[in-house]
Structure 1
Amino acid sequence: MQKLFDVGLHPEQMLAELPAFMSKISDLATTLGIDLTPYQADHIALRVNDHELAKALHQAWLAYGDEWSNNEINGRPIIVIGFTQPLEVAGWTIEALELPYPSDKVYPQQGWEHVEFVIPSQAATTDELQEDLAVLLPTLAWDALAEHGIKVKASSPSGEHERLANPTYAFKQDNLCIKLHPCSLKAVIDSEIA
């Protein structure tokens, strides 16, 4: 646990940084031209570059909730911890934490990295989701993203037993990222059990 404190990644330290992080997420949403306040901030994710740190974080965050999932996705474990007491921040209630174990990609900054929002939709593909986003978030400034240094990535991540399609659009600027998808992480995990 001391190692986590030493690098500023202990859950207590990360929770103290959460309001500032969510303020940056709100700023990114403004740059995207969208208002996410009506939507569920489904889960928050952090990134680390060291496997031992990930193991320590995994254990430390279990004091704040229950492990909903430990799934291999894209060749590495991704842990989902459902908070016993959801995080209340900036008007959102966040019910889960996503902790991917490191891959070969090195992140320039360890800590909070993205928030995923549920934009309710029946979309099963990224093309269908983009069509729905055009209707549900008509002010999304697709054409102006590159000039703001925002990278867009469409993906359809899935675990081995998932039965629910959850296409995702990620909007990344510097070390911040907003992801939009049609289903909550809890619903996707529940689909594995069904």
Structure 2
Amino acid sequence: MQKLEQKGLLPAQMLADLPAFIARIEALAAELGLALSEFQADHLALRVNDWETAEVLHQAWLAYGDEWSNNQINGRPIIVIGFHEPIKIGCWTIEALELPYPGDKAYPQEGWEHVEFVIPSDAADTDTLKLELDARFPSLAAQWENLTDKGIKVKASSPSGEKERLANPTYAFKKGGVCIKLHPCSLKAVIDSETDV
């Protein structure tokens, strides 16, 4: 725990830092032309660079919620913890935390990394999702070609765990150490799909 405290990664420290992180998320959303206030902020995600830190954090966050899922995705555990008390911040109520154990990528900054928002859709692939995002967010649609010039990295993916039955294509927009991800289904819905027969 002392190591977590030194890194500013104790849950209490991270929760205290959350308003500043969300302000950076809101600034990135404004730059992208994304009006996200009416959409569900599904979950928060953090990043750490070593396995030991991930193990200690995993246990520390269990004081704040229940483990909804421990799933192997891209060869590493991804832990999802549903908060006992959803976190209210800004206009959003966030119900879960995603804690990926580290892979082979080192992050320049450990701590909060992204927020995922649910943009309800039946899109089963990233091409269809992009068309729907363009229709819903005209300001974003007008600037896809210029995002790289603004220093915004865009990544389309369709991550999935071994047992998931629900397609959840995702667009990620990253700049300045924060990331916004947009997808059609909540993490809880995806996890629930694992148990559907």
What interval of TM-score do these two structures reach, taking the shorter chain for normalisation? over 0.9
Q: Output the amino acid matched with 1:106.
A: A
Which residue does 1:186 correspond to in 2? Answer: 188
Pairing partner for 1:158 from 152, 157, 160: 160
- How far 1:144 moved relative to its partner? 2.3
TM-score normalised per structure 1: 0.98
Pairing partner for 1:169 from 164, 168, 171: 171
Which residue does 2:36 correspond to in 1? Answer: 36
- How far 1:91 moved relative to its partner? 1.3
Which residue does 1:144 correspond to in 2? Answer: 146
Tell me how many residue pairs correspond in the alignment: 194
CA–CA distance in 1 between the matches of 2:152 and 2:32? 9
Q: Output the amino acid matched with 1:28.
A: L
Matched-pair identity in %: 70
Which residue does 1:5 correspond to in 2? Answer: 5
Question: Structure 1 runs of 4+ off > 3 angstroms?
Answer: none
CA–CA distance in 2 between the matches of 1:119 and 1:138? 14
SS of 1:88 mapped into structure 2: strand
Which residue does 1:109 correspond to in 2? Answer: 109
Which residue does 1:73 correspond to in 2? Answer: 73
TM-score normalised per structure 2: 0.97
SS of 1:165 mapped into structure 2: coil
- How far 1:143 moved relative to its partner? 2.5
Which residue does 1:19 correspond to in 2? Answer: 19
SS of 2:114 mapped into structure 1: strand
Q: Deviations over 1:13-48 (max 9, x none)?
A: 000000000000000001101111110000000000
Which residue does 1:57 correspond to in 2? Answer: 57
CA–CA distance in 1 between the matches of 2:3 and 2:178? 24
Q: Deviations over 1:75-126 (max 9, x none)?
A: 1000000001001111111000000000110000000000000000000000
SS of 1:25 mapped into structure 2: helix
Q: Deviations over 1:121-145 (max 9, x none)?
A: 0000000100110111121131321
Which residue does 1:130 correspond to in 2? Answer: 130
